[in-house]
Chain A
């Protein structure tokens, strides 16, 4: 397989990207495993019992799971892992276990006690956090600085990582004793390329059989036209968004945001920039493939309505220069895009011409990733504020896979709304976000999600432009067992275990 982009050693403490996380799933197991529909199912845990108050999770651990070094995987390992992540360096897994008060092992059963009910606990914690072997890690105080070798590289998954050379290649060897059955491929070698062009060239020359990351849409005809190659295309929960500083004029004015939403021709962005390989954005943020998608939320494209809306709001072009004024200030803003992302730059250009139709003068500026992040999301902490007008942004799949993240998108408290780079403040949204976090009844939660989608579509703290599809070039003759998880692509352990063993 070919990978491209930055990546670290594939361990729970040092992986760097979403692809690294996906590959991690080949080596480690979690208590629950999401199935093809993204729903958590028993995995290392044989079953899951939740107390009525939603605070106590009881899970018997299966007795046939074995670490790669032959030691049995026990309930103690599970309890240890929770404790270890809580005291470890900051990161995705430490955040995931932050709601855990205690995890205790009693013979083969683990009991997890939470400080407060957490509706996303199954999906975000039990189905995500890789369980670590206590006999290896209990003696290592700083896991992110630990040496990486055979002695620490022990998981319980279908594959064992036998060689890891970040920037060059990774080698996975199958674990014949895997509890869910013998893996379907003996060896997986992941070769690192500098960019997608290199990876595509390697696939076309037969050097590799699969590309682990989504390629750009113009590669579809190239790959499909070659004998023996094809592209796995499927919806992904990845988003491409237009964000703006909602505390700053003109975006603090809801009419401006609504007019921009109306003036956004999402179909054109999908057809011209993504060549059809994307799904037009839903004004209510949630991906149409998500079980929480609310069909009643409408996304409209109507330039005339947008112009009428601005006229009614008193935002008119009083000096006749083609640019409307708000409180005497012309609607002139800078739209940022990351220069290394050709597609987003093109989107920015198209948006600038679309918003010119409603009397906005938009200057597109391209920045490198670092400078872009520093302006939009300084130090990846929304509490530090922001310093931009508008930007073409995007979030990765986990923000859509867990509906609870929709609260994080709009909550005005920086610790709860850790994705709210728009600085959006609304009491109504805060209340809905809080309900979404704690409501554990599935139907009631779906109703809250619907309300929040309607609110987002009305208030438009951000404009959801589109959802790029996952495009994975591969050679079906070499391997054709790819199993995609809805919204999250085919690189996961389900692709490599026998069909009858999948959850």
Chain B
């Protein structure tokens, strides 16, 4: 499983500040404009999907027809007027489960991605601003980058036990590395700009330079990375929950799938209303965040941005 968004132009290697050279390259011909417009459409679609899901999560108690933790009908009922997506193995309304599940799935995705962002940005800042230390840290990042994702995820979550917090920690631990790389290359280039050198020559401290000159210009980049990481985190949360390694008693899209699998819905006609909808939701959420992340990246990432 490869992580998240299409990221066509991740900085290749560290060390050489390439940005200053590119400044002299003239913009290419106007055909470059077409994909940029397309980017806007992609971004809008992503934003619509994401904001819809966020609204659903916020207003779940108002939208959901039933309390997902109570027995709302006979177990294993097919879809009907009362239960649009039928009921699960203990008679809980599947539609309500999915609506409330949006909360956990989005929450885990966002919190895990934020944590990953925090780790990634810090490491990237330190690694980029202090190149010598960075050289060593980045080898560590390389190790995390090449770790086989899902197997490690399974091992870690089995070892740590089942809870939402552990799920978040494990996911955050696994997805911060690409961010650290992107941030670091940006910081590397920023910290060798003329104005930074000028500030340094006037005896400005590292803390001041990072706060005043480096952080503001990396922050946008981090936001783009964050949105993309959320998409990855949602997918990972669903995989974990589906495998029964999350907390199966917490309603999320993945755990709805877990119960569908545990109670044989994959082998019966029930897959149409018990397996397909959570699958579609997971796909939608991942897609929404990925599209949004792609659009933001196109706008923000200096390597992708064209004048």
Q: Is B254 an interface residue (CB 8 A)?
A: no
Task: Chain B residues near A275: list those with CB within 8 A.
Answer: 75-76
Task: Chain B residues near A340: list those with CB within 8 A.
Answer: 244
Of B23-31, B132-140, B194-202, B262-270, the segment with at least 4 beta carbons within 8 Å of chain A is B262-270
The reply to whether B90 and A219 form a contact with Cβ atoms under 8 Å apart is no
Alpha-carbon separation in the docked complex, A273 to B92 (Å): 12
Q: Is A78 an interface residue (CB 8 A)?
A: no
The reply to whether B89 and A346 form a contact with Cβ atoms under 8 Å apart is yes
Which residues 82-107 in B have Cβ within 8 Å of A in the complex?
89-91
Smallest CB gap from A271: residue in B: B75
Task: Chain A residues near B76: list those with CB within 8 A.
Answer: 218, 275
The reply to whether A272 and B162 form a contact with Cβ atoms under 8 Å apart is no
Alpha-carbon separation in the docked complex, A201 to B71 (Å): 29
Alpha-carbon separation in the docked complex, A255 to B62 (Å): 41
Smallest CB gap from A219: residue in B: B264
The reply to whether A367 and B75 form a contact with Cβ atoms under 8 Å apart is no
The reply to whether B71 and A272 form a contact with Cβ atoms under 8 Å apart is yes
Select B268's contact among A222, A346, A349, A368, beta carbons within 8 Å. Answer: A222
Which residues 228-266 in B have Cβ within 8 Å of A in the complex?
244, 247-249, 259, 261-264, 266
Q: Are A272 and B267 also in contact (CB < 8 A) when A342-B262, A349-B249, A366-B249 are?
A: no
Task: Chain A residues near B244: list those with CB within 8 A.
Answer: 339-340
Which residues 216-234 in A have Cβ within 8 Å of B in the complex?
216, 218-219, 222
Task: Chain B residues near A350: list those with CB within 8 A.
Answer: 90
Q: Is B161 an interface residue (CB 8 A)?
A: yes
Q: Is B158 an interface residue (CB 8 A)?
A: yes
- For A346-357 the 0/1 string (1 means CB < 8 A from B) is 100110010000
Smallest CB gap from A371: residue in B: B161
Distance between A224 CB and nearest chain B CB, rounded to angstroms:
12
Distance between B111 CB and nearest chain A CB, rounded to angstroms:
21
Smallest CB gap from A346: residue in B: B90
The reply to whether A222 and B267 form a contact with Cβ atoms under 8 Å apart is yes
Q: Are A367 and B89 also in contact (CB < 8 A) when A219-B264, A272-B71 are?
A: no
Task: Chain B residues near A273: list those with CB within 8 A.
Answer: 89-90
Smallest CB gap from A275: residue in B: B75
Task: Chain B residues near A204: list those with CB within 8 A.
Answer: 267
- For B52-72 the 0/1 string (1 means CB < 8 A from A) is 000000000000000001110
- For B127-162 the 0/1 string (1 means CB < 8 A from A) is 000000000000000000000000000000010011
The reply to whether B162 and A339 form a contact with Cβ atoms under 8 Å apart is yes
Select B249's contact among A222, A353, A364, beta carbons within 8 Å. Answer: A364
- For A197-209 the 0/1 string (1 means CB < 8 A from B) is 1001100100000
Alpha-carbon separation in the docked complex, A216 to B268 (Å): 13
Alpha-carbon separation in the docked complex, A353 to B244 (Å): 22
Task: Chain B residues near A262: list those with CB within 8 A.
Answer: none
Other than the given A197-B267, A204-B267, A222-B264, 14 more pairs (CB < 8 A) read A201-B267, A218-B76, A272-B90, A275-B75, A339-B162, A339-B248, A345-B248, A346-B89, A349-B90, A349-B249, A353-B69, A364-B249, A366-B247, A368-B158
Q: Report 13 cross-chain contacts, Cβ distance below 8 Å, ordered by A residue.
A: A197-B261, A197-B267, A200-B267, A218-B268, A222-B264, A272-B91, A275-B75, A349-B249, A353-B70, A364-B249, A366-B248, A367-B162, A371-B161
